[in-house]
Amino acid sequence: MLRSRELPAFSSAFGMGVPYEPVMGRGDVVEISIWEAPPAMLFGGSQSMESVLSPPSGGMVTFPEQMVNSQGMISLPFTGPVHVAGRCARDIETDIANRLREKANQPQVMVRTIHNNTAIVTVVGDVTANTKVPLTAKGERLLDALAAAGGVRQSVDRTTIQLARGNQITSLPLGDIIKDPEQNIYLRPGDVITALFQPLSFTMLGAAGASDEIMFEAQGISLAKALARAGGLKDERADADGLFIFRYEKADALNWTDPPVPGPDGKVPVVYQVDLRDPSTFFLAQNFPIENDDLLYAANSPSAELEKFLRIAVGAFVYPSIALIRVAN
């Protein structure tokens, strides 16, 4: 059960990836420049259409910027339509030069992307500025995109980063990404990064040091740390066998002997009972995860107090059953 609650790492869900290899896409704006060795036959004595000086006895022309159309094509004089979508600049340069080989003297071509409108990553959410980050041959990573958006507005330990790639969506605490370089994966065109500020909390009631709503970080918190933040259990009141964790679980979260009937939201009310009189339980408490909106109750009597609490606090909900699970190694 504990293992199933671990968030999948970005490196496991998406792979580390490799730096993006720039290719042209539909909607990109490109600029084509052509040089011709002297004596120029096709562009001899021509002046660049963008006021670029022509070399003596040779020829050079820079064509006006144009957008790759919906068919993935651009058009140039003396070559006709050229398919560029999905191709890198070097491949396109070679293609155009080959088309001009019989018309121009040793033509050389340079293809330059003026506006990258397709190979972009979107960054939204709790960042300084929602933005679109164009990908380059440098190979932008997840933290690069967050930096381009001005960084997150909330503290790192309470921010979760969600990455959507195609139909796959995975979330990971920002602190984990910073600590583990393998989670700072390379980005792909179309990735959507969402920074989520999630004020997570649990409620502590009963014979504890503090009965209060207690906040915790996006990285999560264990039962042991949760009890410490609540001031521990009161020695004079609490029963070490009377610690209960109330939680709504998904119907498939546990291996049920008798599967309970879930509520309208598909969840089942579950009560975990922890026996702190057993020393081995403290090892378990270091790994048992507390979830958002959990309720921890330290009772005076494991039997009477639990019965009273269920009757008062939970009895109003209409559920066929409430599962009581004793947490043990």
> Which DSSP string corresponds to 268-325?
EEEEEEE-TTSTHHHHHHTTPEE-TT-EEEE-SSTTHHHHHHIIIIITTS--S--EEE
Average pLDDT of the segment spanning 162-167: 94
Average pLDDT of the segment spanning 290-313: 73
pLDDT at 170: 94
Give me the chain's average pLDDT, please: 84
Output the CA–CA distances (angstroms, integers) from residue 283 to 220, 287, 289, 292, in the order listed: 17, 7, 12, 22
Output the CA–CA distances (angstroms, integers) from residue 281 to 285, 326, 329, in the order listed: 6, 11, 7
Q: Are 287 and 222 in contact (CB under 8 A)?
A: yes
Quickly count: other Cβ atoms within 10 Å of residue 153's Cβ.
13
Domain span(s) for CATH 3.10.560.10 in the chain:
6-19+119-197, 200-327
Which tens digits make up the pLDDT trace of 205-214? 988 888 899 9
- If pLDDT is split at 50, 70 and 90, which confidence band does 41 have? confident
Domain span(s) for CATH 3.30.1950 in the chain:
29-115
pLDDT at 45: 52
Q: Which fold has domain 29-115?
A: wza like fold (3.30.1950)
- If pLDDT is split at 50, 70 and 90, which confidence band does 44 have? low
pLDDT at 28: 95
In CATH terms, 6-19+119-197 corresponds, of 3.40.50.300, 2.60.40.10, 3.30.300.30, 3.10.560.10, to: 3.10.560.10
**CATH code for the structural domain at 200-327:** 3.10.560.10
Q: Which ranges of 114-267 does DSSP label H, i.e. alpha helix?
A: 142-148, 174-179, 223-229
Q: Is the pLDDT of residue 52 over 50?
A: no
Q: Is the pLDDT of residue 72 over 80?
A: yes
What are all long-range contacts of 259-263, with beta carbons under 8 Å and residues at least 24 apart? 260/319, 260/320, 260/321, 260/323, 261/319, 261/320, 261/321, 263/317, 263/318, 263/319
